[in-house]
Amino acid sequence: MTRYPARGLLLLVAALSLQLTGCSDDSPQAADKNANSPSAAESAVSEPTGTEATTSGPFSLREYDGPIDPGRHRVPLISWERTYPVDALVRVPEGFITPGGWVIENGLDGTAYGDLMFFGDVDLVDTDPCGAGQAIKPGPTVRDLAESLTGQLPDRATAPRPITVGGHRGLYVEMRVPRNLSRCESGKFTVLAVHQAENPWYSAGPGRLLRFWIVEVDGQRVMVAVNVVPGRTTHAAELVHMAKTAEFVENVDG
């Protein structure tokens, strides 16, 4: 793979906000059942094939821009000029790209955009993602963040339930974005922010299904986030499989 200059995180999140659009009639329950059950797509995750993946260990996607070779790759946690002690270790199948190494996405290869991101921390949660809500700072624990997210739209979010990712216990929640965002002040569904000063919000378009696995890794809270349009996003099962089978390793890049 060839390295290119990384894009700034603010531009990345802004770009994601513009791309997270689409709608579906699928129910969150149906989407969850399909995504969590073994499927041909999930069982067909590619083994490492590139030279870097097989002979030099996992390849770091940090500051990389372009198509991702199938294999095991280290993905940095979303940050804002911060350094986190761990990276995510993900087995990436064929057909995915990354703009800057902070996100794994299917790009425009399919009927609807989908992506996978790893957050090193969450500074703010919007109490009303589609209205004039307050930006509050969630507490420091896994449960604090999970309950802050489910409290945004109680009728459209699942109750936190126990999960394990990479051997680390945590909580899983999912949230369905309304199909009609006309009442949203910004025209977007704003979920959370990764920096208090600049407020680059993680936003989503109408009809999106947002899935969050929140774990603690050696004292570091990590949130794994997948967003898709149920029934339309290409490679949705692969994105979920990467999230559920991710591991966490030492950040050796600093």
pLDDT of 131: 67
Confidence of residue 57 (pLDDT cuts 50, 70, 90): low
Q: Give the mean model confidence (pLDDT) for residues 109-116.
A: 82
Torsional class of 241: left (φ above 0), alpha (ψ -120 to 50), beta (otherwise): alpha
Strands 161-165 and 201-204: unpaired
Q: Give the mean model confidence (pLDDT) for residues 120-143.
A: 83
- Identify which of 145, 212, 230 has the alpha carbon closest to the alpha carbon of residue 172: 212
Q: Give the mean model confidence (pLDDT) for residues 24-47.
A: 37
pLDDT digits (tens, 9 = 90+) for 141-178: 999 999 999 988 778 899 999 999 999 999 999 999 88
Q: Give the mean model confidence (pLDDT) for residues 193-201.
A: 63
Provide the sign of the torsion angle of the four alpha carbons 242, 246, 252, 254, taken in this order.
Answer: positive
Confidence of residue 221 (pLDDT cuts 50, 70, 90): very high
pLDDT of 98: 95
AA letter at 218: D
C-alpha 35/C-alpha 206 separation (Å) is: 20
pLDDT of 59: 85
Confidence of residue 64 (pLDDT cuts 50, 70, 90): very high
AA letter at 165: V
Residue 136 has pLDDT above 60, yes or no: yes
Average of per-residue pLDDT values in the chain:
77
